[in-house]
Amino acid sequence: MNNDKETSCKKRVLVFPCGSEIGLEIHRALCYSRHVALIGASSVATDHGRFVYKHHVTGLPFVDHPDFIAALADLGRDLAADYVFPAHDSVVLALAEHADELPFEVLGSPLETCAVCRSKRKTYARLAGAVRVPRLYGPGDPAMPFPVFLKPDVGQGSRGVITAHSRRELEAWLARDPSLLALEHLPGPEYTVDCFSDRHGALRFAGARERLRIVSGISAQTRPVADAALEAMAARIHQALPFRGQWFFQAKRAADGEPVLLEAAPRVSGSSGLFRHMGVNLPLLTVFDRMGMDISIHMRPAPLEMSRALSQHFEMTLPYAHVYMDWDDTICLENGINPLAVLFVLQCRERGVRVHLLSRHAGDLRERLRKHALEALFDTILCVAENEEKADFIAHRDAVFIDDSFSERARVREKTGIATFAPDELDALIDWRR
């Protein structure tokens, strides 16, 4: 971890496990803040967090290991961490239980809240008088209507969630896992309500969004909704349980249209980035609140819908000091400038890699560059005639060559021996870590 002047005045925030969907959203929310120096921590070397967090530590014990708290405390001392941001439900509870043993503050709610929210049964018992909760059936309840919804008392990400359409199915699933809760089936739309409670005990934000497409328990497609009933639920849950910082709850509409609580969690939700893109950065507000700062919240009302899918990051150990890059169909595409190519060039300049434009462009190349305000990005601009080989213009062997033409790449590779890339491979050359 750097200890230079740039980071020494920032609050050092340790995120664990940093490669979870929660940890990745925390990174997206905090990585550009001048107030925060992020450190990602993981238990496994293959964790995605090392492709995202510039400062990343691996090898911590798993949260259920007896040495986990001591190891995390040692790491926090070594890194001079100010806060830890838990990024998994089990970690939320473990850190709340051992907060007094840690050399940094835990960004989260009190232990009482974390313990209640980790159990669906405890959550429903605690909040039954405040909001509508799903009816819970005993295994032999003769009044049980089918289908019924089966879910683990302690779980996350829709793991172990099943719909039983008959008593025979119900008994078969309970024989496999007797701890499953049998709940009333709720046929209506599903919602997440992202909330923020400050250090003064005030509920400062409650933003509802519909879960349009759900993948492994994550809102892969979501949009904000204005719903007075869901906002009222947020206020009543907040009154019944003490929260601090970001938290959320999920609800689903029953057949009569009334929203029914599914779960509540005192942590960041993976798709709360929807509201971040509407001006409400909930993880950053959580840090500011812990710093003792008074905050104001202004949500941009413009309509927005978010869709999420798998992204790809790469780690390539290919040293090079020069880049030779084509213009037509590599940087300049038929429908405009390739933004990924420009991003790569900017990254090269920041790292001291020299970028040489190498093009057979038929017109005035410099005029085209000036038109797009790109001329200053390149260290040299080399124009190649039709009867000339691009390979003959490559004067360095600690270089890479980027061109849309397969034949051009093949000739450069054969003549120079340097690595060549097509425009669709630019992702592998970009370092997204911050």
Q: Where are the alpha helices (DSSP H) in 301-359?
A: 339-350
- Tell me whether residue 386 is exposed, middle or buried, using C-beta atoms within 10 angstroms of its C-beta: 0 to 12, 13 to 18, 19 or more: exposed
Q: Please, what is the angle between helix 282-290 and helix 21-30, to 10°?
A: 70
* Interatomic CA distance for residues 146 and 198, integer angstroms: 42
- Are 299 and 332 contacting, i.e. CB atoms less than 8 angstroms apart? no
- Are 133 and 261 contacting, i.e. CB atoms less than 8 angstroms apart? yes
* Interatomic CA distance for residues 14 and 86, integer angstroms: 8
* Interatomic CA distance for residues 234 and 117, integer angstroms: 14
Those residues with Cβ within 8 angstroms of residue 359's Cβ, 6 or more apart along the chain or in another chain:
326, 327, 328, 365, 381, 382, 383, 384
* Interatomic CA distance for residues 175 and 164, integer angstroms: 13
- Tell me whether residue 417 is exposed, middle or buried, using C-beta atoms within 10 angstroms of its C-beta: 0 to 12, 13 to 18, 19 or more: exposed
Region for 279 from its dihedrals, namely left if φ exceeds 0, alpha if ψ lies in -120 to 50, beta otherwise: left
Domains of the chain with bracketed CATH: 9-107 (3.40.50.20), 116-121+187-297 (3.30.470.20), 135-184 (no CATH), 322-429 (3.40.50.1000)
- Residue whose C-alpha is closest to residue 157's, from 16, 20, 48: 20
Per-residue tens of pLDDT for the chain, all 434 residues: 333 444 458 999 999 999 999 999 999 999 999 999 999 999 999 999 999 999 999 999 999 999 999 999 999 999 999 999 999 999 999 999 999 999 999 999 999 999 999 999 999 999 999 999 999 998 778 888 999 989 999 976 556 688 999 999 998 998 899 889 999 999 999 999 999 999 999 999 999 999 999 988 889 999 999 999 999 999 999 999 999 999 999 999 999 999 999 999 999 999 999 999 999 999 999 999 999 999 999 998 888 999 999 888 998 889 999 999 999 999 999 889 999 999 999 999 999 999 999 999 988 999 999 999 999 999 999 999 989 999 999 999 999 999 999 999 999 999 999 999 999 999 999 999 98
Those residues with Cβ within 8 angstroms of residue 352's Cβ, 6 or more apart along the chain or in another chain:
321
